[in-house]
Amino acid sequence: MQARQLGRTGLRVSPVSFGCVELGIPYGIGVRDRADMLSDGQAVALLQAALARGVTLYDTAPSYGTSEALLGRAFESRRDDVVICTKCPGLTGADGRVLRKRAMRDRILASLDASLKALRTDHVDILMLHRVEEALIANDEVAEVFEDVMSQRAVMLKGVSTYPGGITGRVIASGRWQVVQVAFSLMDQREGPFLEMAESAGVGVIARSVLLKGILTDRGRDLHPGLKSVQDHRERCLAETPAGMTLSTFATRFALGRRGVHSVLVGIDREEYLDQAVALAEAGPLAPDDARRAEALAFPEPDFIDLPGWHAKGWLT
């Protein structure tokens, strides 16, 4: 795979990045418990196979169960060959208010030190604030605390993981964050306007949820009745899929070719999914006509798209 520059951060990353959540916790359609997951040994072997195939960016978090520890086992002896992005916990208290500066710093350092131990490394390439909230972006002390943490621990870049609603634009406009992880897919294109903004600002962009937690794959054929409108729109997407492509191929290549996206986060928990991800990265972007057709397939009620909410309701099991 041809590596890409991650904005103006100085890092080069693979166009597809390995989302590690499925390796550490039950996640996604049809995955109910650990019996549906890879064993630790299988997960480590899959991670190592991904690196051998050219995948260099790996996304994890403390909340992803054992995924950090699995990455540590897989890459302890090849740490310089991979780019690891992990996250820190929320920085608000039980009352919803942003923590005081010292409490924020202590929470981030405690989380980061635990991550470094699990990852078996002395540095993190990207440290992200997980599920960023409006109050955190509006508080200048948050970015200042991150910079303080970076000076005390070997952290190369700071970033945030955002949800649609305008926060991404404010993150970029602040000029304080170097990488942003956004939800972007064939059906959910709400963050599209901010991709060009990020490109102009030199901010690295990692796109996640490009397959809508499996909805844009074969797993999405029979969704919960609460998702009937999504099911109907999925059928429209399927009808518009170019000949010779699967829906997941169409959706992933659309995200890979979208201007402003530097790497596409793909959940990989099988060898066949790794093969598919590598093949898609090597295939390149969609033809211009196909890309235009894809842009017209955004879900007409974007605010309805709420993956965490759907999961909480049991609609994605």
Question: pLDDT tens digits, residue range 141-165?
Answer: 888 898 899 988 889 999 999 988 7
What pLDDT score was predicted for residue 122?
95
Residues in contact with 242: Cβ distance below 8 Å, sequence separation at least 6, in sequence order: 250, 286, 287, 290, 293
pLDDT interval class at 290 (50, 70, 90): very high
Burial class (CB in 10 A: 0-12, 13-18, 19+), 228: exposed
Burial class (CB in 10 A: 0-12, 13-18, 19+), 215: buried
Which CATH code for domain 4-312?
3.20.20.100
Q: Return the higher-pLDDT residue of 223 and 284.
A: 223
pLDDT interval class at 34 (50, 70, 90): confident
What does the mean pLDDT of the chain come to? 93
The residue whose two tokens read 């759907």 is 310
Q: How many Å apart are CA 76 and CA 121, to the nearest integer? A: 7
Please give the radius of gyration of the chain, using alpha carbons only, rounded to the nearest integer: 19
- Strand, coil or helix: 151: helix
pLDDT interval class at 201 (50, 70, 90): very high
**Beta bridge mates, 125:** none
pLDDT over threshold 80, residue 252: yes
**Beta bridge mates, 84:** 58
Distances (CA, A) of 126 to 178, 205, 222, 264: 9, 12, 37, 16
Query: Which residue spans within 242-306 are E strands per DSSP?
Result: 263-267
Q: What is the mean pLDDT of residues 4-15?
A: 97
Q: What is the mean pLDDT of residues 289-316?
A: 93
What pLDDT score was predicted for residue 3?
95
Choose among 193, 164, 156: nearest CA to 181: 164
What pLDDT score was predicted for residue 265?
95
Structure tokens of 280? Answer: 């898609």
pLDDT interval class at 284 (50, 70, 90): confident
What pLDDT score was predicted for residue 12?
97
What pLDDT score was predicted for residue 59?
97
What pLDDT score was predicted for residue 94?
83
Q: What is the mean pLDDT of residues 201-219?
A: 93
Give residue-wise pLDDT tens across range 74-105. Answer: 999 999 999 999 999 888 888 888 889 999 99
Amino acid at 67: S
Contact 301, 232 (CB under 8 A): no
Choose among 45, 308, 87, 274: nearest CA to 179: 87
What pLDDT score was predicted for residue 282?
92
pLDDT interval class at 293 (50, 70, 90): very high
pLDDT over threshold 90, residue 132: no
Q: How many Å apart are CA 285 and CA 258, to the nearest integer? A: 8
Choose among 316, 272, 315, 264: nearest CA to 28: 316
Q: How many Å apart are CA 83 and CA 219, to the nearest integer? A: 30
pLDDT over threshold 90, residue 26: no
